[in-house]
Structure formats: structure tokens, C-alpha cells
Structure 1
């Protein structure tokens, strides 16, 4: 049994099955046309093309208006018109979505068009350009109704608020500007950033504005007029690999490719201790002990280090692997640590002596995930090998118990239900698979993402799965029936790790933009009519729908599924 991302049940595993061939240069945009039977693409070869969704064949001739590269394409809210922007510096094209005929050309920009937006009432097209201007167009007369020239750099993104009264523009001039859509006047002063701004988005209730910047940080503005930015944790000079919440609720700790672990004050955002360092090797992964007193980290130099969270000192350094340590996991009582490595082996370590007590277990060419079963009788490894990607081992002897046949690609993440009856895996083929832990047969296949599944997390009551993907989304799944919950949570870049808070209210997400985000998923689940999925999670009724993205590195609990995808993509 399998499910597509839209919830449609299949009788077999469905993979992408249609290829649309014909363009001679990059395809920059694709949209579904309203009849559900056609798609339209735009390309640097200067054409728009319409395709039969079922057969993959091109319908009609190429749509062209000159030979200029097509940079962007958008569908009007009523589905009747397609708007495209080109790199010829002068032109926006409007097309009839049903016939494919050119309706009109909009001339005014003096450089290529970077972004397009259409108001919900169909009355206005808003365009942003490399010429630093924003232009507004009346869709009845096709005349330019306004030219806004306050930006001093290219306008890269336009976003319209949910109520349709305000729009935001993000620019290479390091600012985001807010505009009154009715009178075309700026609202407050520009939102200043340290570098060019690549993305901007309103929350679903319109109260928050999130921006993404070339300084590798994201920002949230709780009131666009007041410019009150939420907390930010700055200091690392390389990609942040992982973050965990330290006991007491007042501190978080991050690890980074810059070779350091850093402790931060949760309220002020200030670094409160000197960097934790022991050498210069990149830190790939870390995990907090069950009692919260120790952190184990894995590094590029093949070592594991055990840290005291109170003294910030290395207690012991463990050597044994012959390549970088990609994943670590504590057992339930904190007496043992499992590790996996680029060297393809897994090892179990005595947490007091640092001695290898099991292994090396040769599990494949590369390991990305390792975990104990809830009863700790088994060890499961996931990674890349020439044969099976998921392997089961006896936790006492290290002898193989079973090989799971299913994913034909790298397995990046593993999770167990708390009752130990189901094992869940996520892999590079975009699937999430559930396995019967008695028979080791595959139960279900969720066609979850069009790209890699980098991490999976289970809600506290084991009824909801969250999956993080390189397709820049996180998706929520009903584990009872394999159906998706609501639409995907969109991000600016690859999403590498995700975890539920211990009370089940929030989902914390780590993104390749070096930032973390917190989403209130309880309200989203309730709005989808699935509030019963939260029944065992102690979820408060007083929750809000909107997502609250935070900057840099803030998670509410230890992320036990490590960021193997980031390591592999280095």
C-alpha cells in the first residue's frame, strides 16, 4: 500500500513516470493549468510550452514573443491568464490560459523581470525587476498604474499579505519595504538587513513577516510597522549542524562545521560561555544524555567526545572509527552510546570507560543513521551499501538479525514507535516506509517528497510523522492511515532535521540556511479536522495557527535524528 503526497491511495509504489522533453535550455518555471490536464513551462530558450499531463506530449506550437529568455511564469488567481517575465529588459507577456494566445505585452521595465504577483481580485499585476523598480499594472486597461522606485537594488521578491491590503518587496539593497496596495504609499521605514534579502513571506494571519537574508539568517518581524525582530543567535562562522536544549530550559547548545560547540542564553540570545573546542575538526553530530548531564559529539576526525554540560569540558575522547562520525545515539539509561561513521561501521561504547563494547559492525559503505529498538534488544542501521540499506542487529552479540528489502537508495533517518512494533525509515528516493518489527515486512510506503527525506520525527503519541526534505518542505502525516495532514510547510532551502516538542504543541525545524524555525502544528492539525490525533499529547487548547520562524539555532528538545544529509552533501 502506498500514498501520494496529495493523499490518494495507490495499490503499488508510485514514482515519477512522465518526462516532458523539448526545451533546449533550462526550464525556469512550471504551472498546472486549470483543467488539470495540462501544464505550462517556460525556459531560457525563449518559449512557453503546453504539455499533455498524461501523455507527456507537447500540445500545439511553442508560445513565443521574440527570442528572449523566459525568466518567470505565474497563473492568475482565477486561472484564466498566465503572466510571464523575460530577460529582454522591456516586456511582461500576458497569455490566455485556455487558448495559449498572447493577450498583451506590458512594457515599462528596463531590465529583466525577477518576480510577479497578482492580486486576489484579479485587478492588478505587480512586477519587480533588476532595474530596481516595482511596477503595477491594471488588468482591465493593461496600462501601468504605478511605478515605485524607492529601492536602490534589484527587486527579487514580491509577497502580498493574506488580506490583500499590503505587499512586501525584498531587494538586493538590503531592505524589505512594505506598501499600501491601495494608495501605493510605503508603510513605515524600510526593514534594514545586513545583506541582500532573498525571500519574504507573510504568516497566514498576516501578523508576522519573515525574511531571509544573504547573511545566512532569517528574521521575523512581529509587527511590520514597529520593526521588532525576534531573537537571533549569532556567532558560528560555518553551517550549524545540530542544536539541543539543555536542562533547565534556559540554554541551548549548538554544534557547527566551524569546529565548536556553543551555549546560548535562550532569552537574550547571547553566547554565555566560551566556545567548547577540542581541536579544529568539524563537528558533525551530537546528542544529549538521558539525564541531561552529558553531550556526546561526533567529528570529522573520526572521534567521539563526551562533554560535561556543567563544566563545558571534555570528559573523554573515544577513538576507533577510521572516518568521520556521522551519527550518535544514547541508550535509555545513558550507559551506552551507539555511533555510525563514514567508514561503514557501527560501534557501541561504554559511556564511563569509553571502551568499545560492541563492534565494529560492518553495516555498509556509509552509515547515516543508527538507533536502538525501544527494548534495546536490537540495533538498526541505515545508510548506503551495495545491497540492503537497512539492517537489524542483535544488540548484545552484534550478529545480523534481518536485512530489510525496500528502498533502493540511501537511508538517511530511522525512528521507532514507542511500543516497538513499527520501524519507520526515510530515504533518498523521497519515500517514508513503515516496517512490522515482528515479521520485518514492509507495511506501507508513503510517496512523501519529490526529493530526499532527510529526517523524520514522531509526535509524542506516535500518531503523527513529520518529514523534512531537500525539496525545501516539511510534511505532516497521519500514521494511522498514511494520509498527509494539510499542505507542506515551505522553507527557503533544504530542510535537514525536525523534532516535536515534548508536549506535542510545536514542531522545530532546522534548515540549510543556518536557521531554525518553530511551527505551531497543533492548530494546523485541528483545522484539518484531525484534532483527535492530538488526544494523547497534552496539547493546550489555547494555540494559534501561525508559524513562528526563528533565526539561527533554537530547538525545544534534543534532535536525535542527526543531520546526516548535510554531511553527505558537504
Structure 2
């Protein structure tokens, strides 16, 4: 089901682009790459500010995850160099570096109130950081393998985390109660949870996996409500449309797929990259999907309507 639609691209990274995220106003896009840099793109003129600092004292400094604070003033980046950096979006200057993880950072996520940043690492832990002080607040441990993915619920009351291959669990951390709920269902050793996303109303959690599937969960009950099958290789990322009716996914099979959530059916499949699709993100107005590829390119696709 190939849809021939116009594709715009942003070029500048010299290695794989691993993560993309829109600012809340939709005018800028941030990207993190294996070239050790973060870029902040002005989508009007396609020019970018390059942020350097990761991996300066290490051969390994690829940026695995980027996240804007809710107010759009701060950008967080998590790196293979075991650090997280906070950047001033408007000046491009580094605010501070968060250290404490013992292995590479796979994922970072801001709480909806913008006061806290969560990070997941190869050291199997999830850490919570104060944005005001730059200090670690507390740490969760519960996964038996790398923590690959994180997502806050829209109300900020829970954090979902996904573990790598040998773990393949989704854990729901009830933050105020320090209580954890475990969800399982992805299969085999290749069941690593590569990406997580809450629906805008917070009722559904989507998970993508190395087992080539996407699952939808009524997470409050721990119940699976559907499995989306169609990718032919590891599914790397998922993202909900702002209206909650569409889910986008990206895969190592080089395609981006759009799914109708209520019927759990495929709407469109687009081959927008020549290599793996590592990250997808909808613009706040829902009109555009950005994707990060192993071909060093960021694509901007018009979103299908339903």
C-alpha cells in the first residue's frame, strides 16, 4: 500500500539520524545523530544550529535521544557517552551536563510540567533529574536489560519504560506511589521494546518491538487490545497523531506506516528512507510527520487524513 506523496528532506548530519522531535509551537525540529551532534532546525528556511559537546572525551558520543521541554526553552539530549546535556534552545549554549548513568543513554523524556527529566540507560536504570538544579532526584531499577524507551502519561502521573531483548517488558511506574506494574506480551529474544507512546487522552499505550509488531494496550488494566502487523523487520518507533486517531511507525524495513487506531488497520505505507527509520514525530498541528533515518536524512511527510 504505497502512497505517492510529496516528501521534503533536511540534510546536514554526517551519520545516522537517531531521534527527532518537534517543538511545541511546531516551528522548529530537533535531531540527534550518531555524528555526535544535535541540530535545531528552523523549518521555514531549513537552516540549523549545530550543538556540539557529546563525545568530546570519548570515541563514542552518538546522540540517541532528544526532547524539548514543554515550554520549548530547553532541549535535552542523551548520548552513548553516558551523559545527558541540557541546551538553551534560543542561544544553542549548553546549560549543564547530567552525569550518573554507568552506560550509554538510550532515551530521555520531560515530564508534562517540565520540572523533571527521565532517562533510560544501558545500566538498566531509570533516573529522574531536577531541571531546576540539574541534580538526580531518584533512580528506579526493575528491568533486567537496557532501558530502551520511555514515555510519560499526559497527566504526568506515570512513566512507561521498555526493556531490551532479554527483558522485553513494559513497566508502568506510578511515580507518586513508587509502585510498578509490569506488562508482557512481545515475543522471543527479539521482543525488545524499542519505543513507547501514550495516546493524547492517556488511555492507550502503544509499544513497538524488535519482534516486528506494534501492540496497543489498555495499560490501566494491563490488557492488550490489539497487535498491528505489517512491518517486515524490527519496528523502531511509534508516535500518536495529536487527534489520537492515527499511529505512525518506523522500521528497519525502511518504511513508515500509518495506522487507524480504532480499527487497528493500515492506512498508508511510505518508503521515505533508503535505510532504517529510527524515529518519528508528529507536528503539534498534526499536518506533518518528521522521520529520522539511517540514510542521514530527516524527512517531512504530509499526514494522511481520516
TM-score range, shorter chain: 0.7 to 0.9
1:499 aligns with 2:275: no
| TM-fit CA distance, 1:249 | 6.1
For 1:513 and 1:256, the matched residues in 2 are separated by 11
Provide the TM-score with structure 1 as the length reference. Answer: 0.49
CA distance in 1, matches of 2:50, 2:281: 27
Q: Provide the residue aligned with 2:138 in structure 1.
A: 358
Give the aligned partner of residue 237 of structure 2. Answer: 455
- Rate the CA distance shift 1:475–1:308 in 2: closer, same or farther, 3 A: same
Say which of 335, 354, 359 aligns to 2:115. Answer: 335
What secondary structure, in the 3-state scheme, does the structure 1 residue paired with 2:52 have? Answer: coil
* Mapping of residues 117-128 of structure 1, within 5 Å: none
* Deviation readout 1:66-92 (Å, 9 max, x if unpaired): xxxxxxxxxxxxxxxxxxxxxxxxxxx
1:277 aligns with 2:53: yes
What's 2:100 paired with? 320
> 1:449 offset after TM fit, Å?
1.4
Hey, what does 1:405 align to over in structure 2? 184
Aligned to 1:390: 170
Query: Counterparts of 1:255-294 in structure 2 under 5 Å?
Result: 255-271=32-48, 273=49, 275-277=51-53, 279-280=55-56, 281-294=61-74
Question: Equivalent residue for 1:309?
Answer: 89
Q: Does 1:296 align with 2:72?
A: no
Q: TM-score, normalised by structure 2?
A: 0.87
Deviations 1:512-534 (A, max 9, x none): 11112222233xx4xxxxxxx3x
Unmatched 5+ residue regions in structure 2?
none
| Cα distance change on mapping 1:396 and 1:254 into 2, 3 Å | same
Give secondary structure in 1 for the equivalent of 2:133: coil
Deviation at 1:262, TM superposition (A): 3.3
Cα pair 1:233 1:270 within 8 Å, conserved? no
Name the CA distance, whole Å, in 1 between partners of 2:9 and 2:236.
Answer: 27
Is 2:288 the partner of 1:520?
Answer: no
Q: Which runs of 5+ in 1 are unaligned?
A: 1-5, 7-200, 209-219, 221-229, 526-532, 534-570
1:336 to partner: Cα distance: 0.3
> Is the contact between residue 494 and residue 512 of structure 1 (CA under 8 Å) also seen in structure 2?
yes
CA distance in 1 between counterparts of 2:250 and 2:17 reads 16
Q: CA deviation at 1:344?
A: 1.1
> Greater CA radius of gyration, 1 or 2?
1
Quote how far apart the aligned CAs of 1:334 are.
0.4
| TM superposition shift of 1:287 | 0.6
Structure 1 CA distance for aligned equivalents of residues 9 and 254 of structure 2: 23
* Residue 508 (structure 1) aligns with: 290
In 2, Cα distance between equivalents of 1:231 and 1:413:
23
d(CA) in 2 for partners of 1:448 and 1:297? 31
CA distance in 2 between partners of 1:438 and 1:419 (Å) = 13
Q: Which residue of 2 aligns with 1:124?
A: none
Instruction: Give the SS at the match of 1:454.
Output: strand
Q: 1:357 to 1:431 in 2, by over 3 A?
A: same
Alpha-carbon distance in structure 2 between the residues aligned to 1:264 and 1:342: 29
Distance change (3 Å), C-alpha of 1:274 and 1:413? closer
Aligned pairs for 1:154-173 within 5 A? none
Matched, 1:490 2:266: no
Distance 1:416-1:266 versus aligned 2 partners, 3 A rule: closer
1:428 and 1:306 map into 2 onto residues whose CA distance is 30
Q: Contact between 1:231 and 1:268, CA under 8 Å: does it hold in 2? A: no
1:347 pairs with one of 127, 152, 160: 127
**Structure with bigger RCO (C-alpha 8 Å, 6+ apart):** 2
Deviation of the 1:476 alpha carbon:
1.4
CA, structure 1 residues 459+250, in 2 after alignment: closer, same or farther (shift >3 Å)?
closer
Count of aligned pairs between the two proteins = 298
How many angstroms does 1:267 deviate by?
4.3
1:91-102 to 2 correspondences below 5 Å: none
Higher strand share: 2
> Offset at 1:385?
5.5
